[in-house]
Homo-oligomer: A and B are copies of this chain.
Amino acid sequence: MAPRSHGVTLEDIAQRVGITRAAASMALAGSSRISEKTKQAVRDVAAELGYVPNSVGRALRRQRAGAIALIVPNTSHHVFGHTYFMHVLTGVSTSANAHDAQVIVSTNADEAGGVSAYERIIRSGTADGVIVTSAAIDDANVEMLVASGLPVVLIGSFPYLPSAMSIGADDVAASTLVTEHLLTVHGRRRLMHVSGPLDHQTGIDRRQGFLAALADHGLGEDAWVVEGDMSEESGAAAVVAALDSGRPFDGVVFANDDMAFGGMQVLRTRGLVVPTDAAVVGFDDFGLARTTTPGITTIRVPAERMAREATDTLFAVLAGQQAGPLHRELPVELVTRGSCGCHVDMP
């Protein structure tokens, strides 16, 4: 690559003002050891030349990059192409802006050389800390990263990593809540659950919430759970298999909205009406659930807020203000729409 077009350095300013780099630096930093007259002169010249401190030189000297990384494991590829990620990015970006830091978005694409992207980005000094989202349970990299003592905050729940910092949502309670809704408000009794992948805590917790609700109603005996992968296709496939099995059901609790949408399409194709023949509920409310017909009753996951608070926490760690491990779970909200029978859409 060709070298970057040369910028204005402190040296340029110093020469113009007739002082040294060091003095110019102190002047711009507002040191009390520099005369007001010189400070003003330096500021004037800096403005005139359009001086912007070279962040690389500064980072080297200060031993911190002024940037944080947002890492998305490639294992959960569907996540990167998902609306969820936008919310996360917005939250991370908002917090980072408030802390004058850059955001580096990184996928865990290259695994060569035994050093994971997680480690590489931190050890290389490119970023001062990391936000990790949608990590699988068996992702050894996350464990390694947390164990290494580098500043990391995870988005999600990681009960098997007690020393990690994380901000999640109360998936279990939320899933119980939405299942209860079908049981209590709509009197459904034969529910199926299409779970997320069970190597993600989200998949486990949402299934757990479903099972807990059934148990509360004495329906725990023969709970019906099918594992999906959060994709629209897997939701559709689960419903196809359920219909073909002949086992009756009057409601389906999907672990996310994408699968719920896929399932609803199959139901419609088979001539079944949602919610009359089968009520449907989803999870996430990242956008899709609002736009389908009928709208999908779901749990609103505050992804942006989770990301923002995770990032705020990361900056607190970087500032030395956050000591021990910390896990927060943000409250979620039930959003009722047409798919459960609550609101009848327009004719």
- The interface of chain A, by Cβ under 8 A from chain B, is 1-5, 7-8, 47, 50, 52-57, 59-60, 62-65, 67, 80-83, 85-86, 89-90, 93, 97, 102-107, 109-110, 114-115, 119-121, 123-126, 128, 149-150, 261, 268-269, 271, 287-288, 291-293, 318-320, 346-347
Contacts and interface: CB of A to CB of B under 8 A. Distances in A.
Contact of A125 (B54, B90, B126, B128): B54
Contacts of A104: 67, 102-105
A105 B128 contact: no
A117 to B, nearest CB: 10
A92 B150 CA distance: 27
Contacts of A52: 115, 119-120, 123-124
Given A4-B64, A67-B126, A83-B83, 4 more contacts: A2-B319, A60-B60, A103-B105, A293-B293
Contact of A1 (B8, B53, B124, B318): B318
Contact of A2 (B1, B5, B89, B320): B320
Contacts of A57: 60, 125
Contacts of A93: 80, 105, 107
16 contacts: A1-B320, A2-B320, A3-B62, A3-B64, A5-B149, A52-B120, A52-B124, A56-B59, A57-B125, A67-B126, A83-B83, A86-B86, A102-B104, A103-B106, A105-B105, A268-B346
A90 B287 CA distance: 19
Contacts of A269: 346
Q: How many copies make up the complex?
A: 2
Given A115-B50, A124-B53, A320-B2, A80 B90 contact: yes
Report the 6 A-B pairs with minimum CB-CB distance, sorted nearest first. A293-B293, A52-B123, A55-B124, A3-B63, A56-B59, A2-B320
Contact of A128 (B4, B97, B119): B4
Contact of A292 (B85, B114, B291): B291
B125 A56 contact: yes
B80 A83 contact: no
A150 B5 contact: yes
Contact of A318 (B2, B47, B123): B2
A149 B7 CA distance: 12
A239 B85 CA distance: 32
Nearest to A87: B81
A64 B6 CA distance: 11
Contacts of A120: 52
Contacts of A47: 114
Contacts of A119: 50, 52
A55 B4 contact: no
A126 B100 CA distance: 13
Contacts of A124: 7, 52-56
A126 B102 contact: yes
A223 to B, nearest CB: 30
Contacts of A90: 80-81
